[in-house]
Amino acid sequence: MTTGEKIAALRKEQGMSQEALGEKLGLSRQAVSKWEADQAVPTMDNLMELSKLFGVPVDTLLRPDAELMPKAEDSDESWPGAENQPVRNENRKWKIAAIAAAGLLCVSVVCSAVSLWRVLAMQQQIDTLRMQSGPSTIYYPQTDNENSDLADWSENIEVDPDHNENLLVTVSAVPKEMRDGETAKFVVRSGDQSWECDAENKNGYSGEISVPLVDTFSVYLTLTSTDGEIRNIMVASEYDLKQRFSLEVRAWWENGSFSFNGKITSASGNVATYIYCGDDSVTPVSGRILLYQNGKQIKEQKIENIETGVGGDVYYYTQVDWRNLEGSMEEYQLKAEITDNYGRVYSSEFFR
């Protein structure tokens, strides 16, 4: 496992979100996201904090071949029969403790060396990117939770209320070096696609872009000097956007089912509907259970008491009782349909 995969696994084991982990470390959610995607490497100070928080050695976080093992806790328990051992066994204990301390010191030195090597390797990659970009365009990718070329920055993402299939990205950035005569714009890149807007300068740059709901993107501040040199400073990177800003819907029989007596079909029982809300800004507002016959909707039952403004995992249970349906039960299927607070509709798969 990579360092990022280990951080993600340990965070989920603790039941923490990326935002919660970032708050404990005094960092942004984006910083944690970049670690887990192996887009950035935690500093040694952050690695030490992660080690304390998750109870694993720093070496375990850094070495790909190291399994996730909890730190061995100190113990005052004596071995069986210790009370009957002569005093020289106490000296043996101290020798063992001294050897263990020396071993831990060696591990610490090795971890520091590995971390330094990774930082130097990443810096070399950054220098290579800058050289490849040519003299007219300079790229400044982020290597940790903070972009060293920015004095300050902020970003907000939400579903675009005017175009509910898009995301509205509001961003601001203050470069550490402000050059006279530069023009600025913000560019959002996702694969080979890009979208841009002018950046308004008010003691720093700000802008707003509506982009399609892609899964990942990076935001750049693009600064063009009077002689044509372009500085592209990365402001932020985002991942798993489709999951965060959409609902996931599943449905199944909690109890009951379809039945057929040789002449007519019945659908009777309790239907469970599961909804996952990836972001608190996207929530269900209404729902219904739909009955289909040969692919055509014929009946519906409203899902009662859906709570708005509720994020995370939520479950609802709906009683249905449809009897005297003509045809065999193989002709019939059910599914759940949920509408979110932006008017977008999500459906579960069909089930019988």
Q: Report pLDDT for 146.
A: 47
CB 185 within 8 A of CB 207: yes
Give residue 72's pLDDT: 42
H/E segment holding residue 115: helix 88-132
Long-range contacts of 113-121 (CB under 8 A, 24+ apart): 114/59, 114/62, 114/63, 115/41, 115/44, 115/47, 115/58, 115/62, 118/41, 118/62, 119/41
CA distance readout (Å), 158 to 71, 163, 212, 246, 281? 40, 11, 12, 11, 7
DSSP helix, strand, coil percent of the chain (3-state; round to 5) = 30, 40, 35
At a CB cut-off of 8 Å and minimum separation 6, what does 343 contact?
A: 164
Predicted local distance difference test score (pLDDT) of residue 71? 42
What pLDDT shows up at residue 75? 39
221 touches 198 (CB < 8 A): no
Report how far residue 227's alpha carbon sits from residue 270's, in angstroms, rounded to the nearest whole number. Answer: 70
Closest listed residue to residue 47, CA positions, set 26, 66, 62: 62
CA distance 232 to 218: 11
pLDDT at 117: 62
The set of residues, in sequence order, having a beta carbon less than 8 Å from that of 231 and lying 6+ positions away, is 138, 140, 175, 182, 221, 222, 223, 224, 225
Q: What SS3 state is found at 22?
A: helix
pLDDT at 140: 36
DSSP structural state of residue 351:
B
Domains with residue ranges and CATH for the chain: 3-71+88-132 (1.10.260.40), 147-239 (2.60.40.10), 246-347 (2.60.40.10)
In tens digits, what is the pLDDT along the chain, a chain of 352 residues?
Answer: 788 888 888 988 888 888 888 888 888 887 888 788 777 778 877 888 888 888 888 778 877 777 775 444 443 444 344 344 444 445 555 556 666 666 666 666 666 666 656 655 555 554 444 444 433 333 333 434 445 689 899 999 999 999 999 999 999 999 998 888 899 999 999 999 999 999 999 888 999 999 999 999 999 999 999 998 999 999 999 989 998 999 999 999 999 999 999 899 999 999 999 999 888 889 999 999 999 999 999 999 999 988 776 667 889 999 999 999 999 999 999 999 999 999 999 999 999 9
Q: Give the pLDDT confidence score for residue 349 in this predicted structure.
A: 95
Phi/psi of residue 230, nearest 5 degrees: -115, 125
pLDDT attached to residue 250: 95
Whether residue 167 contacts residue 241, with contact meaning beta carbons closer than 8 Å, is answered with yes
Global pTM exceeds 0.75: no
Alpha-carbon Rg for the chain, nearest whole angstrom, is: 28
Model pLDDT, residue 76: 42
